[in-house]
Homo-oligomer: A and B are copies of this chain.
Amino acid sequence: MKLGRLNHIGIATPSIADSIAHYRDTMGATQITEPFDLPEQGVKVCFVDTPTDSGMNGTQLELIEPFDESSPINGFLAKNPAGGQHHVCFEVPDIDEARAEFEGQGKRILGPTRIGAHGTPIFFLHPKDMQGILTEIMETPKEGAHWSN
């Protein structure tokens, strides 16, 4: 496997509304998507775009708020009530190949491959096998649209 683009970093928050205000007013973000529900992942999501030299196509900040009481991020927020860095997500060209490679290395994969917030297949790797970091692997969007807008 070859290291892919750092698509986004996932940031858990008790309030997406408060986090949007923080990134807009304190950090000066100019492109923030509307929040949307992702009930199958148990989260409400929105993306903050970051700039590169060539446009607003940098690594995104993915803000995630629990969707309900069974959300998988409730445990994280119980330990980190103000929110915090939850996961990192790298792109791969082929999700099935990547899954087979990680499995071949004995890395624990958390659940089935499924459709993530960007509409492409994703899976998560156990942080204990990934240097303490919950790692998401995401298939690069086919149309080359790595970012919102």
* A residues whose Cβ falls under 8 Å from a Cβ of B: 1-6, 9, 11, 13, 18-19, 22-23, 26-30, 48, 50-54, 57-59, 61, 80-85, 88, 90, 102, 105, 107, 127-128, 130-133, 144, 146
Contacts and interface: CB of A to CB of B under 8 A. Distances in A.
A84 B5 CA distance: 19
Contacts of A52: 5, 52, 57
Contacts of A3: 23, 27-30, 48, 50-51
Given A58-B59, A59-B58, A133 B2 contact: no
A31 to B, nearest CB: 9
Contacts of A85: 9, 85, 88, 133
